[in-house]
C-alpha cells in the first residue's frame, strides 16, 4: 500500500511502448509467419479442394 | 471519512488502477477506457474468460466508491489469497502463465479485442491455475496495428523460459533484477549457439534483438509499422508453438530428490506426518494461512493444505519447486502454491520507490509457519546466529512449527564433516533460549526413531 498522487495521462490509452524496432520487426515477420500459418490452417481445405478438382476431372474424363 | 490508498504496483496504465478503500480492494475504471471496458463486457469476452478461469472475477459496485472523479466504473475483484511474482515461480508456472496469456489473447481476438500488455506480473495463481488479474488489459483491435505487447511478452516470458530450458534454471531469478523482463540482447549473449537452430527462438529472440539494436532502431525512427490481422494471429500462434516444446529437466539437484536421500526411516516419516498434523490442529484459532519454509517438494505443506489451510510451499531449489508445482497441477490441488525463495536472501521490496513488488516479509505474517529441518541449514550451512533465525521466523508467523535437528543427527554431521565446528551454541538448550526471546513453547516432542525434536511455538 502506497499513498502517492496517481501518475496519469488521461489522454493516452496506449501506455505501453512497444518499441519501434519490435513493432517494425513483428510487422515484417508477421507477414512471413502468416504464409506458414495460412498454409498450416488452410491445408486441409486446399487438399480437399484440389482432390475435389482432380477427382472431378477424372470423373469427367471417365464419362467422356 | 473513508480512507483511500492506491497500490504501489498500480500506476502505469491510465485505464484505471487498484486501490484500497477501508481495507477493501477495488479497481477503478477511468473515463478514457470506457469504450474498451464496455466492449469487454458486451462482447461476452469477460464472461467467457471468467468461466474458463482465465480472468479474475470482478463485481461492478457503486460508482460512489471510486477513488476520484475520473471513474466510469468501480470493480470489486475476487481477492487473490497470495500475491506471487514471476521471479518466485518454477519453470512450469512461468510456462503455464505464458500459455494462459496467449490463450487469453486468442479468445480476445475472436471478439475483436487484443491484450494491450503482456506483463508476467499481471498473472497470478488462483486455485492452482494461472489467472489474469488485470481486467483492464484489453482494448479493441484497430485494423493494421501490430501487437504492442509483443516485446513485453518476449522479455517477460519467452526469454526467461528459453534461458531456464537451454542454460540453467537459476537464470529464472534474473527476473528479480529485470522487472520489465530480461532484455533480448542479454538473452542472446547467454543462450548457447545451438538455440539459433530452433526457429521460434531464432525469430523471437535473436532476430528480434537484432531489430531492436542501435543501428536498426535509428534507421527506423519515424516509421510506423502496419500489420495485417492475419499476420498478428500468425505471430501469436507462432509464439505459442515456440513456447510449448520448451522443457526443463532438472538433474542431480540436492532437493529435488531429497526424500530419496533423507535419513528418515519409514516409521519416523510416518510419525513426523502424524505429529505435524497434530501440531497444526493445536494452533488456536484454526489457521487460515500457512507458509512452509524449506518445503522441498511440499510433502508436509500438503498436510496443511489438506486441512483447508491456504498454504505456500517455499523452497530454494528450482527442481523441488518444479516438482511440487507439477504435482499440484496433476492432483488439481487448489490450496497449495509452491514458490521459490532463498531465505538467506529473501525477495526484497522492488520497483518504483521500492513499492511496486512486496518483499517476503511484507506479504506476511501468516497464521502458522512451518520450518521443518530448516534451522540447521540456516544456522550451520549459512552461519546465521540462532537468535537471528528465531527473530526472522517471528517476523513471518504468529505460530510456528519448527523441527530442530541436533549435531548428533547424520545430516548435520555430514554438514560439519568438511568444516570446523564454530557453533558451540547449536544445541537444543541454545535453540530454546533463542526461541524464548520471541515465542512461547507450547508443545515440544521428540520425533520417534530420530534424535530430532518438533516444537510448536506461539508468538509472544
Predicted local distance difference test score (pLDDT) of residue B12: 72
Query: Within the 103-142 window of chain B, which residues sit less than 8 Å (CB to CB) from chain A?
Result: 116-117, 139
- CB neighbour list of residue B127: distance below 8 Å, 6 or more residues apart: B53, B334
Predicted local distance difference test score (pLDDT) of residue A9: 36
Compute the count of residue pairs across chains A and B with CB atoms less than 8 Å apart.
Answer: 141
Strand partners, B287: none
What tens digit of pLDDT does each residue of A10-54 get? 333 457 888 888 999 999 999 899 988 888 877 777 777 777 777
- Judged against a pLDDT cut of 80, whether residue A1 lies above it is answered with no
Test mutation, A21, A32, A37, A40, chain B, max B CBs within 10 A: A21
- Judged against a pLDDT cut of 90, whether residue B121 lies above it is answered with yes
- Judged against a pLDDT cut of 70, whether residue A2 lies above it is answered with no
In B, which residues are within 8 Å of A18 by CB distance? 146-152
- CB neighbour list of residue A50: distance below 8 Å, 6 or more residues apart: none
CA B244, CA B262: separation in Å to the nearest integer?
35
Greater confidence (A2 vs B458) lies with B458
> Closest by alpha carbon to B182, among B203, B200, B162?
B162
Q: What percent of chain B has pLDDT over 90?
A: 85
Test mutation, B12, B32, B148, B224, chain A, max A CBs within 10 A: B148
Query: Within the 239-278 window of chain B, which residues sit less than 8 Å (CB to CB) from chain A?
Result: none
What tens digit of pLDDT does each residue of B394-418 get? 999 999 999 999 999 999 999 999 8
What tens digit of pLDDT does each residue of B154-174 get? 999 999 999 999 999 999 999
Model confidence band, residue B264 (pLDDT cutoffs 50, 70, 90): confident
**Complex-level ipTM:** 0.79
* Region B49-61 average pLDDT: 97
Q: Which residue of B has its CA nearest to A26?
A: B146
Would you call the peptide bond into B365 cis, given omega within 30 degrees of 0 as the criterion? Answer: yes
Strand partners, B246: none
CA B65, CA B72: separation in Å to the nearest integer?
11
Residue B57 C-beta-side C-alpha neighbours within 13 Å: 9
Q: Do A25 and B212 touch (CB under 8 A)?
A: yes
Min CA distance, B150 vs chain A (Å)? 7
- All three cell numbers of B457: 511455538
In B, which residues are within 8 Å of A9 by CB distance? 14
- Judged against a pLDDT cut of 50, whether residue B274 lies above it is answered with yes
Q: Which of B20, B33, B208 sits opposite A22 (nearest CB)?
A: B208
- Give the DSSP letter of residue B357: B
Strands across the sheet with B366-371, in order?
B336-340, B310-315, B289-293, B366-371, B397-404, B453-459, B439-446
| Mean pLDDT score across all residues of chain B | 93
Lowest mean pLDDT among A34-38, B83-87, B206-210: A34-38
Model confidence band, residue B220 (pLDDT cutoffs 50, 70, 90): low
Model confidence band, residue B250 (pLDDT cutoffs 50, 70, 90): confident
- Judged against a pLDDT cut of 50, whether residue B15 lies above it is answered with yes
Greater confidence (B4 vs B320) lies with B320
- Judged against a pLDDT cut of 90, whether residue B191 lies above it is answered with yes
Q: What percent of chain B has pLDDT over 70?
A: 93
- Asked if A39 has any chain B CB less than 8 Å from its own CB, the reply is no
What tens digit of pLDDT does each residue of B294-314 get? 999 999 999 999 999 999 999
> Closest by alpha carbon to B188, among B224, B215, B155, B216?
B155
In B, which residues are within 8 Å of A38 by CB distance? 230, 234
Min CA distance, A54 vs chain B (Å)? 29
- Judged against a pLDDT cut of 50, whether residue B90 lies above it is answered with yes
CA B161, CA B7: separation in Å to the nearest integer?
29
In angstroms, the Cα distances linking A50 to A35, A38, A39, A64 are 19, 16, 14, 21
Q: Do A16 and B117 touch (CB under 8 A)?
A: yes
Model confidence band, residue B261 (pLDDT cutoffs 50, 70, 90): low
What's the burial of B147, exposed, middle or buried (CB within 10 Å: 0-12/13-18/19+)? buried
Q: Which of A12, A24, A36 sits opposite B225 (nearest CB)?
A: A24
- Helix B229-243 crosses helix A20-63 at what angle (to 10 degrees)? 100
Predicted local distance difference test score (pLDDT) of residue A60: 63
In A, which residues are within 8 Å of B188 by CB distance? none
Predicted local distance difference test score (pLDDT) of residue B418: 87
**What is the torsional sign of CA B35, B37, B38, B42?**
positive
- All three cell numbers of B435: 526461541
Lowest mean pLDDT among B82-86, B88-92, B355-359: B355-359
- Judged against a pLDDT cut of 70, whether residue B286 lies above it is answered with yes
CA B9, CA B359: separation in Å to the nearest integer?
13
* Region B249-260 average pLDDT: 62
In the numeric block, the cell 499440484 is attached to B328
Query: Quick check: B456 and B274 in contact, CB under 8 A?
Result: no
Greater confidence (A55 vs B384) lies with B384
> Closest by alpha carbon to B200, among B242, B171, B163, B232?
B242
Query: Within the 420-439 window of chain B, which residues sit less than 8 Å (CB to CB) from chain A?
Result: none
Strand partners, B444: B455
Lowest mean pLDDT among A52-56, B78-82, B224-228: A52-56
In B, which residues are within 8 Å of A7 by CB distance? 11-12
Min CA distance, A50 vs chain B (Å)? 23
* Region B221-249 average pLDDT: 90
Amino acid at each position: 500500500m502506497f499513498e502517492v498522487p496517481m501518475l496519469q495521462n488521461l489522454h493516452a490509452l496506449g501506455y505501453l511502448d512497444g518499441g519501434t524496432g519490435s513493432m517494425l520487426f513483428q510487422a515484417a515477420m508477421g507477414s512471413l509467419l502468416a504464409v506458414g500459418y495460412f498454409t498450416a490452417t488452410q491445408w486441409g481445405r486446399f487438399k480437399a479442394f484440389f482432390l475435389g478438382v482432380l477427382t472431378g476431372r477424372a470423373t469427367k474424363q471417365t464419362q467422356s | 471519512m473513508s480512507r483511500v490508498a492506491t497500490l504501489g504496483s498500480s500506476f502505469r496504465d491510465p485505464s484505471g488502477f487498484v486501490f484500497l478503500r477501508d481495507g477493501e480492494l477495488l479497481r477503478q475504471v477511468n473515463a478514457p477506457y470506457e469504450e474498451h471496458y464496455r466492449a469487454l463486457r458486451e462482447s461476452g469476452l469477460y464472461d467467457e474468460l471468467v468461466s474458463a478461469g482465465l480472468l479474475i472475477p470482478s463485481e461492478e459496485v457503486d460508482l460512489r466508491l471510486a477513488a476520484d472523479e475520473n471513474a466510469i466504473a468501480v470493480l470489486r475483484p475476487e481477492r487473490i489469497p497470495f500475491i506471487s511474482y514471476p521471479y518466485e515461480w518454477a519453470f512450469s508456472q512461468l510456462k503455464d502463465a505464458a500459455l494462459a496469456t496467449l490463450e487469453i489473447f486468442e479468445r480476445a481476438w475472436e471478439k475483436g479485442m487484443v491484450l494491450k500488455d503482456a506483463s508476467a506480473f499481471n498473472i497470478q495463481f488462483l486455485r492452482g491455475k494461472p489467472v489474469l488479474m488485470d481486467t483492464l488489459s484489453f482494448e479493441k483491435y484497430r485494423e493494421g496495428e501490430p501487437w504492442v505487447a509483443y516485446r513485453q511478452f518476449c522479455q517477460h516470458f519467452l526469454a526467461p523460459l528459453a534461458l531456464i530450458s537451454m542454460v540453467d534454471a537459476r537464470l529464472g531469478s534474473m527476473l528479480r533484477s529485470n522487472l520489465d523482463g530480461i532484455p533480448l540482447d542479454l538473452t542472446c549473449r547467454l543462450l548457447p549457439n545451438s538455440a539459433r537452430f530452433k526457429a521460434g527462438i531464432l525469430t523471437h529472440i535473436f532476430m528480434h534483438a537484432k531489430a531492436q539494436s542501435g543501428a536498426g532502431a535509428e534507421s527506423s525512427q519515424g516509421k510506423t509499422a502496419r500489420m495485417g490481422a492475419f499476420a498478428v494471429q500468425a505471430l501469436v500462434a507462432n509464439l505459442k508453438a515456440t513456447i510449448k516444446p520448451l522443457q526443463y529437466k532438472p538433474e542431480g539437484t540436492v532437493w529435488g530428490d531429497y526424500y530419496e536421500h533423507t535419513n528418515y526411516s519409514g516409521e519416523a516419516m510416518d510419525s513426523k506426518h502424524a505429529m505435524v498434523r497434530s501440531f497444526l490442529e493445536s494452533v488456536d484459532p484454526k489457521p487460515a494461512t500457512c507458509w512452509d519454509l524449506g518445503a522441498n517438494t511440499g510433502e508436509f505443506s500438503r498436510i496443511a493444505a489438506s486441512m483447508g489451510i491456504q498454504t505456500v510451499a517455499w523452497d530454494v531449489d528450482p527442481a523441488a519447486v518444479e516438482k511440487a508445482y507439477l504435482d499440484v497441477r496433476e492432483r488439481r490441488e487448489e490450496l497449495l502454491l509452491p514458490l521459490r525463495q532463498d531465505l538467506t536472501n529473501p525477495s526484497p521490496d522492488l520497483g518504483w520507490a521500492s513499492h511496486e513488488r512486496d518483499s517476503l516479509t511484507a506479504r506476511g505474517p501468516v497464521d502458522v509457519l512451518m520450518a521443518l529441518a530448516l534451522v540447521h541449514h540456516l544456522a550451520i550451512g549459512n552461519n546465521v546466529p540462532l537468535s537471528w533465525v528465531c527473530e526472522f521466523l517471528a517476523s513471518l508467523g504468529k505460530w510456528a512449527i519448527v523441527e530442530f535437528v541436533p549435531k548428533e543427527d547424520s545430516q548435520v554431521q555430514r554438514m560439519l564433516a568438511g568444516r570446523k565446528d564454530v557453533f558451540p551454541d547449536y544445541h537444543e538448550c541454545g535453540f530454546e533460549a533463542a526461541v524464548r526471546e520471541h515465542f512461547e513453547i507450547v508443545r515440544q516432542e521428540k520425533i520417534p526413531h530420530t534424535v530430532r525434536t518438533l516444537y510448536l511455538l506461539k508468538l509472544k
